[in-house]
Amino acid sequence: MPRVTLETVDHVARLAHLSLTAQERETFTRQLEQVLAYAESIQALDVSGVEPMSHAAATGVFREDVVREGLPRETVLAAAPDADPESGLFRVPRVLGG
């Protein structure tokens, strides 16, 4: 089993775009370790040659490629925390620099 450290949790939180408090970092480190220790049981199973199951649904469902109306742009923009209906864009804080 991998060793779960504060750095592991920091790394994963960064990947997931989560800012964690100092308290959360420690709690999640301990709990992640606990859950992974429990999940260790599946490491002992022989799964060689077993197909992974990603879905219970039938795969390969097709439909006609026809154009359909989506939601009106104004309706979608109206649900956004910040948007510019004029230009039809979502507005976000600065991406580069700063």
Partner 1 sequence: MSAGFATAAEIARGVSRGEISAEAVTREHLDIIARRDRGLDAFLTVTAERALAQARAVDASRAARSTLGPLAGVPIAIKDVLDIEGVPTTCGSRMLERYRPPFTATAVARLERAGAIVLGKTNMDEFAMGSSTENSAFKPTRNPWDRSRVPGGSSGGSAVAVSAGMVPVALGTDTGGSIRQPAALCGVVGLKPTYGRVSRYGLVAFASSLDQVGPLTRTVEDAALVTSVLAGVDAADATSAPVEVPDFRAALSEDLASLRVGVPWSFLEHGVEAGVTSAFRVALADLEAAGARIVEIALPHAAHAIATYYIVATAEASSNLARFDGVRYGLRVDAPDLRRMYGETRDRGFGPEVKRRIILGTFVLSAGYYDSYYLRAQQVRTLIRRDFEQAFLSCDVVAMPTTPRPAFRLGEKTSDPLQMYLEDIFTVPANLAGIPGLSLPCGFVDGVPVGFQLLGRPFDETTLFRGGHAYQQRTAHHRAVPPGLE
Q: Is 80 in the site for partner 1 (CB under 8 A)?
A: yes
Q: What are phi and psi of 26, to 5 degrees?
A: -70, -45
Q: How far is the CB of 7 from partner 1 (least distance, A)?
A: 12
Q: How far is the CB of 83 from partner 1 (least distance, A)?
A: 9
**Paired tokens of 8:** 């592991």
12 by Cβ neighbours in 10 Å (0-12 / 13-18 / 19+) ranks as middle
Q: Is 3 in the site for partner 1 (CB under 8 A)?
A: no
CA dihedral 93, 95, 96, 98 (to 10 degrees): 30
- For the CB of residue 96, give the shortest distance to partner 1 in the complex, in Å: 8
Distance from C-alpha of 8 to C-alpha of 33, rounded to nearest angstrom: 10
Task: Collect all residues with Cβ–Cβ distance below 8 Å to 47 and sequence separation of at least 6.
Answer: none
For residue 56, state whether it binds partner 1 (rule: CB under 8 A): yes
The answer to whether 35 contacts partner 1 (rule: CB under 8 A) is: yes
- Which residues in this chain contact partner 1 in the complex, by CB under 8 A? 2, 8-9, 11-13, 15-21, 24, 27-28, 31-32, 34-36, 38-43, 45, 47, 50-58, 61, 63, 71, 75-76, 78-82, 90, 92-95, 98
